[in-house]
A and B are shown apart, each in its own frame.
Chain A
Amino acid sequence: MDLVIGIGNRLRGDDGIGPSIVEGLPAQTGVTCRVVHQLTPELVMQLVEVDRVLFVDAAISGEAPRIEAVCPRPHSGLGHAMTPAALMDLARTICHKTPKAWLLTVPGIDFEFGERFSPVATAHLPEATHLLHAWLAGSVPVTT
């Protein structure tokens, strides 16, 4: 069972690219999709029920979409917004279980109010979608 989580705010320009990609994914057996504004501790309960998870998020740096493995890592952030690594660490600590996890990042440049993507983010969409499908097929070249 796979879980794909799109992270971001659809009303903040390129920040909505993760949700947009995930919502555009056709329904398929064995894959659960979620769209969230931010990662919160409750997501742990869904994480521990799957074999693999892919977080899809906009990035403020980078030249191209990329996928990297996510390892559990403690994070001393505020109460209800977390990083993928911190969420994995929470799962490991309280449930003693973690799925294999990856993060797909898509570079963006405009995070102001609005529902449109910048030309930069728009240009990255095909490659990001390709990487997502490759990950689902289990054949993605992962950068670690």
Chain B
Amino acid sequence: MEKQIHIEPVTRVEGHGKITVFLDDAGDVRDAQFHVTELRGFEKFCEGRTVWEMPGLTARICGICPVSHILASAKAGDAILSVRVPESGILLRRLMNLGQMVQSHALSFFYLSAPDLLLGWDADPATRNVVGLVTANPDLARKGIRLRAYGQQIIDRLGGKRIHPAWAVPGGVNQALSKEDHAWILAGLPEAMETIRETLDLFKSAFVSEEARGVLSDFDSMYMGLVAPDGSWEHYDGLLRIVDREGNNVVAGHDPSRYFDIIHEASQPWSYLKFPFYAPMGFGTEGMYRVGPLGRVNVCERFGTPKADEELEAFRALTTGRSGKVFDYHYTRLLEILASLERIEKLLADERILSPRVRAEAGINELEGVGIHEAPRGTLIHHYKVDQNGIIEKANFIVSTGHNNLGMNRAVQEIAKMYIQKGNITEGILNRIEGGIRAYDPCLSCSVHAVGQMPLDVRIVDAEGETVKTLTRG
């Protein structure tokens, strides 16, 4: 008799989702699906609003990633205004995106995932959270909290507030960086750098073995992210690159404004989250690619900063070709915090960042615009079509969690097959399945433009489609 296992709700991710595991007659895993069960429809109700409103409006999609949507939206607006953003405006946007990278990655690692890593996959769910982490390692918790606060403060000082800052606008940004804030950000760098250095050393002391890194599955896929023209790590601009598992370029450098040449989206009846795929290879396993920290690290040739490049060399030495391990999302997240801090230092050393000329003004000069940059969780695309007055006629958002939808489903399938045999299910196994999702750091609020936290349901269904077991958490 076939059975289904449902994990619902998934905890410590943003939004609502559930997992269904289908068992065959022998109680082994036949298939597994990660469902996103919410719908908000931001794309639809943005229609009729002006392009100038879009950064502030789309920021409300999420309380974790507002900066990412503001920047992608402002860039789409730049294209519609057909303006060249002043250099200082670009530097400031880059600075804010790096602050976002630091705070979001710190949240993911220290608050959401470190409890799994430091307390163990089989720890009691009642203690396997940030409170348990604090109890087990208060010094690490304090440093992680301070690191996230540092990233948030960068956003706060640039945008006036840390959540939903109405700061980046089509044509640039609406406020220059003060010398006082410049000095504050600079002064905070040494401590932040020390924290990530210590964390990376701690992480590497425990989690570089094949066994530790393989716990959340290892499978082939392509990887996508922006790269600079010289092939180095990029987060704000550049070209779209796709590589295969061996690290060979599938797409060396595609114009991001024509993303639709290579990325198409599919739907499935069991999830509100769309499934983007690499169009030339078709929907499914062949066309699956992954984005985010692992994607960016796998597509770039180098970080372009000394400390991060040294760490990248050590990371690459662990793998032939490119890593397919889901667990390595954690590792590469830490590498990206280090790289972001080094980039912040470089930006602050550029005196143009203090220029008061931060915005170009213009009217509607194009009726279509695409804005792409790298959000912490992966490539974020805003695509608008407007009328002569700049009123949105059509909006399309492809967010990182969508890009990773096929990858997350594959991870759930692989982990379920690794740990569920003959219908035997324990809490530790559920933790690992959930951990596989959490490693991607999905933001379901963004991906379906839904609100709230994401609890997890696990449901087991037999061959006749009857639920025989449900585990609910959240």
Contacts and interface: CB of A to CB of B under 8 A. Distances in A.
Contacts of B254: none
Nearest to B60: A11
A94 B152 CA distance: 20
Given A79-B12, A79-B111, A80-B107, A41 B138 contact: no
B126 A76 contact: yes
B141 A78 contact: no
Contacts of A44: 145
A75 B134 CA distance: 11
Nearest to B13: A79
A21 interface: no
A78 B12 contact: yes
B111 A80 contact: yes
Given A45-B145, A94-B145, A76 B129 contact: yes
B127 A41 contact: no
Contact of B11 (A74, A78, A81): A78
Contact of A93 (B112, B134, B474): B134
B320 interface: no
Interface in A50-97: 74-81, 86, 90, 93-95
B134 A42 contact: no
B126 A45 contact: no
Contact of A77 (B131, B134, B142, B163): B131
A78 B142 CA distance: 17
A37 B12 CA distance: 18
B146 A45 contact: yes
B126 A90 contact: no
Most interface-central of A77, A78, A79, A94 (chain B CB within 10 A): A79
B130 interface: yes
Contacts of A94: 134, 138-139, 141-142, 145
Interface string B239-265: 000000000000000000000000000
A41 B129 contact: no
Interface in A30-44: 37, 41-42, 44
B148 A77 contact: no
Contacts of B453: 78, 81
Most interface-central of A41, A81, A86 (chain B CB within 10 A): A41
Nearest to A35: B161
Contacts, number: 54
A74 B134 CA distance: 10
B149 interface: yes
Contacts of B11: 78
A76 B127 contact: yes
A52 to B, nearest CB: 21
Given A37-B63, A42-B149, A79-B111, A90 B127 contact: no
Nearest to B128: A76
Contacts of A76: 126-127, 129, 131-132
Contacts of B126: 76
A63 to B, nearest CB: 31
B360 to A, nearest CB: 32
A41 B111 contact: yes
A95 B135 CA distance: 12
A37 B163 contact: yes
Interface in B158-180: 163
Most interface-central of B126, B131, B142, B152 (chain A CB within 10 A): B131
Given A37-B163, A94-B141, A45 B149 contact: yes
A78 B454 CA distance: 10
B149 to A, nearest CB: 4
Nearest to A90: B134
Contacts of B135: 74, 93
A113 to B, nearest CB: 11
Contact of A79 (B129, B139, B163): B129
B138 to A, nearest CB: 5
Contacts of B129: 76-79
A79 B454 CA distance: 11
Interface in A16-36: none
Nearest to B127: A76
B131 A86 contact: yes
B153 to A, nearest CB: 9
Nearest to B140: A94
Interface in B418-457: 453
Contacts of B149: 42, 45
Nearest to B137: A94
Nearest to A46: B149
Contacts of B131: 74-77, 86, 90
Contacts of B111: 41, 79-80
Interface string B99-121: 00000000100011000000000
Interface of A: 37, 41-42, 44-45, 74-81, 86, 90, 93-95
Return the 5 tightest CB-CB contacts between A and B, nearest first: A94-B142, A42-B149, A79-B111, A94-B138, A41-B145
Given A45-B145, A90-B134, 9 more contacts: A37-B63, A41-B145, A41-B148, A42-B149, A78-B12, A78-B453, A79-B111, A93-B141, A94-B139
